[in-house]
Amino acid sequence: MTERNHRIAPLTQLTEDEQMLKDAAAEFADTIIRPKVHEMDEAAKLDPGLIKMFFEMGFMGIEIPEKYEGAGGTFFMGIVAIEQISRVDASVGVFMDVQNTLVNNAFLRWGSEEVNSRFLPQLATNKVGAYCLSEAGSGSDAFALKCNAKEDGDAYILNGTKLWITNAAEADIFLVFATIDPDLGYKGITGFIVERGMDGFSISKKENKLGIRASSTCELLLEDVRVPKENILGEVGKGYKVAIETLNEGRIGIGAQMIGIAQGAYDAALAYTQERKQFGRAVSEFQSVQFQLAQMATELEMARLLVYNSARIKEAGLPFLKEAAMAKYYSAEVAEKLSSMAIDLFGGYGYVKEYPVEKYYRDAKIGKIYEGTSNMQLQTIAKIILQG
């Protein structure tokens, strides 16, 4: 028998840089964000001062190289930061998530040097980005787009409506997907960089939501918006690749948001059961409560391992589609389940806004819906495993 002298590092073990960013994000969330959570949720609006601080902390350009004024970090560093921010407030977590895993990622992968030199320094330092794919008839059927782009000399003229756009109220840079020819199907889809202030572009209805209320979700109107050809991201007719491949990475970000929610709900429940006394002793001393806490801790760890594993695989340059779908699907299930269990453990107090767990429960629900519904994740997983 061969003696094994090597040690296997746990999947959750972080590098020094990853740990430093995690600690910084956790401290920022606990000291700066937490006091503002209730007020932002009630007002359904992010604190403008908080947005400025996110840029100052480098949280909005984690993967953007230093030559573009970004932090020069890694995808995994973004994931652990999103998790820590979402542990305190998922609204702020998704604000940061969309910027990093969707918008910045799309530029980094598909932008030319000229495009990236113009936009990445802005996204790293002071401009919020939004990712604009969804329409009224284009949800899970992501490429049934009606928003169209007609070539006109050195530009394209965009017309259409976009729905459910996260960060729309705060954004200045919008990655808008439109078709140059509906008859071409997905091969007509192109990514256009639309900037706030362009003639004919406006932000319309802001949705009044169940959860992640401080995160803006708005309708966009494009009426004869003239977008210069130098504002095309990637190639004309190849926008479907930009959209699909970016969303695959974005699902890991949503997984990080969901395990953050689950962690926040679990932490609150664990502390409360140790403080709350019934029948002369702490609630946590009852075996039935201990079993529930143990179940919560186990399922949270399972979800975290799936999210971290998919992020590590992606970062290694290996195929990660199945793992990302599994991470998003399961982490959303766990976030909803654990936040519900937390309310049960709080009893009547869990049902009122004075305590944090009812918000975790409201915030968790979106995990099964955006960036690919749970049914779409299951379809993806099934397709891959059946193909062997």
- Rounded distance, CA 277 to CA 72, Å? 49
Q: What is the CATH number of the domain that holds 311?
A: 1.20.140.10
Quick check: is 150 in a domain? yes
Q: What is the DSSP string of 154-183?
A: TEEEEEEEEEEEETTTT-SEEEEEEES-GG
Looking at the 3D structure of the chain, how many domains does it have? 3
- Rounded distance, CA 227 to CA 195, Å? 9
- Rounded distance, CA 335 to CA 39, Å? 23
Quick check: is 116 in a domain? yes
For residue 327, what pLDDT is reported? 98
Quick check: is 6 in a domain? no
For residue 42, what pLDDT is reported? 97
For residue 8, what pLDDT is reported? 66
Tokens 């594993």 belong to residue: 309
pLDDT tens per residue across span 190-244 = 999 999 999 999 999 999 999 999 999 999 999 999 999 999 999 999 999 999 9
Shared-domain flag, residues 124 and 134: no
For residue 4, what pLDDT is reported? 53
- Kind of pairing between the strands at 129-132 and 232-233: unpaired
Nearest to 264 by CA among 30, 12, 53: 30
For residue 334, what pLDDT is reported? 98
Q: In this structure, what are the phi and psi dihedrals at residue 265, rounded to the nearest 5 degrees?
A: -65, -40
Would you call 16 a catalytic residue per the annotation? no
8 Å CB contact between 288 and 215: no
Catalytic residue among 83, 219, 299, 371: 371
Shared-domain flag, residues 261 and 222: no
Q: How far is CA 82 from CA 12, 108, 206, 258, in A?
A: 15, 19, 24, 10
- Kind of pairing between the strands at 189-195 and 155-166: unpaired
Shared-domain flag, residues 212 and 307: no
Shared-domain flag, residues 109 and 246: no
Shared-domain flag, residues 249 and 214: no
For residue 388, what pLDDT is reported? 79
- Rounded distance, CA 320 to CA 76, Å? 14
Q: How far is CA 354 from CA 45, 264, 346, 347, 359, in A?
A: 19, 15, 12, 13, 10
Shared-domain flag, residues 178 and 279: no
The last residue of a domain, from among 237, 272, 292: 237
The last residue of a domain, from among 112, 128, 144: 128
Shared-domain flag, residues 201 and 336: no
Shared-domain flag, residues 336 and 359: yes
SS3 category, 45: coil
Tokens 């019934």 belong to residue: 278
Which ranges of the chain have pLDDT less than 70? 1-8
For residue 6, what pLDDT is reported? 53
8 Å CB contact between 99 and 152: no
Shared-domain flag, residues 260 and 363: yes
Quick check: is 357 in a domain? yes
Number of alpha carbons in the 13 Å side-chain half-sphere of residue 210: 10
For residue 1, what pLDDT is reported? 43
Quick check: is 96 in a domain? yes
Shared-domain flag, residues 89 and 197: no
Quick check: is 4 in a domain? no
Shared-domain flag, residues 191 and 250: no
Q: What is the CATH number of the domain that holds 217?
A: 2.40.110.10
Nearest to 333 by CA among 289, 302, 358, 293: 302
SS3 category, 21: helix
Q: How far is CA 179 from CA 60, 133, 143, 308, in A?
A: 29, 11, 9, 35
Quick check: is 8 in a domain? no
Q: What is the CATH number of the domain that holds 109?
A: 1.10.540.10
In terms of residue numbers, what domain contains 52? Answer: 16-128
Quick check: is 38 in a domain? yes
The last residue of a domain, from among 128, 163, 197: 128
Shared-domain flag, residues 149 and 281: no
